[in-house]
Chains A and B, each alone.
Chain A
Amino acid sequence: MSAPAPVTLDQVREGQTLPSLTYDVTPTTVVLGALSSRDWRPMHHDYRFATERNGMADVFLSTPNQAAWFERYLTDWTGPRGRLGRMKFRMKDSVFAGDTMVLEGVVRAVETDATGCGWCEVEVTMRVGDRTSTECSARIAVPTTPDDNPWARRGERWKP
């Protein structure tokens, strides 16, 4: 198959909201996410360690696994031509097994840089009920035209 039609920069507006993602987090979600990122720390797979030693409510999503969730959320929206430039997130609280997490995003800025690369600045919130667990800001390149491909940029033409 060929790559699906991409979101292009001209279709994106500041203030635009991204479709939300709701996901029921289970112990398997937490453990699979930790082990897929080779994170063997016990608070991500050992209930007793997480609750009795760390004082947490349950095992909880690891840092690299949260990054993977944010990446998935953003590229669900952009399609495969979307290319992450940078991502920063602050984990204010944890997402535990048993939680229903919701990811929501808002486009905060749209720009074309000096090299002609199209960029969207997106704020993504990961929350559980009314509790915001993680706030993420991401800079992601999207095609300026249907034929544009941010992945083709290298060296000085890629300024994340």
Chain B
Amino acid sequence: MTDAVLDELPSDVTATIDQVQYEQTADFPVERGYVWTTCAAVENGNPLFWDDAVAEELTGGVIAAPTMLSVWFRPHHWAPGQTSQALPLQVHFDLKERFDLPEAVMTDNSIVFYEPVRLGDRLSTCQRLRSVSGPKTTKLGTGRFWVIDVEYRNQREELVGVESYTGFGYRKAGA
């Protein structure tokens, strides 16, 4: 476990390390509107996402931009019957609350891409906490770093990607 002091972590936190948490299926299937909006946001003119003939020739049909993996499991900001705001990467927010760290930023992100994500796919995900550091002080404040892995599969159980986030939960100096 990188940069972690297991003995100093609360037992309820160490108990969750490497455990599968928050298995869920995306709220909606992969759709093209978000693909176009994402490409527009970064002015990505790759014809794979704009030209059906190119998509058919190269990928056997339209796919989503690979780096959009996390888009498909971020919950709606509101939905009928929802009484509190659903949060993406819930393990991250659990840790903020557990360690009473009101602020947080992401510092590192890694993504490994496997099967392409296709229009109409309905992805499922799970999260695994990999590590939690001891207390650290940065220019932002004092807090802890943690690493969370997210695995993505399609409805055929094919692995489409694995993402790893390093977050830093912190309390501003003097706060």
Contact = CB atoms under 8 A, between A and B. Distances in A.
Given A64-B70, A91-B106, A3 B47 contact: yes
A87 interface: yes
Contacts of A84: 66-67, 113
User: Which of A4, A29, A75, A80 has the most B CB atoms < 10 Å from its CB?
Assistant: A80
B41 A32 contact: yes
Nearest to A158: B114
Contacts of A160: 112-114
Interface in A106-160: 149, 151, 154, 158, 160
Contact of B47 (A4, A64, A71): A4
B172 A68 contact: no
Interface stretch (B8-16, B48-56, B128-136): B48-56
Contact of B107 (A3, A72, A85, A90): A90
A88 B110 CA distance: 4
Interface string B59-74: 1000001111011001
Interface residues of A, number: 46
Given A71-B65, A86-B112, A88-B109, A81 B58 contact: yes
B67 A71 contact: yes
A89 interface: yes
A37 B68 contact: yes
Contacts of A99: none
A42 B135 CA distance: 26
A3 B57 CA distance: 8
B61 to A, nearest CB: 11
A114 B44 CA distance: 32
Interface string A20-36: 00010000010011011
B67 A68 contact: yes
B107 A38 contact: no
Contacts of A8: none
A72 B42 contact: yes
B74 A2 contact: no
Given A64-B67, A68-B67, A160-B112, 11 more contacts: A32-B40, A36-B34, A67-B67, A67-B111, A75-B46, A80-B58, A87-B67, A87-B113, A149-B58, A151-B59, A151-B116
26 contacts: A1-B54, A2-B53, A2-B57, A3-B47, A29-B41, A35-B37, A37-B68, A39-B74, A53-B103, A54-B103, A54-B105, A63-B109, A63-B165, A64-B67, A66-B109, A68-B42, A69-B42, A71-B44, A75-B46, A84-B113, A87-B111, A91-B107, A149-B58, A154-B115, A158-B114, A160-B114
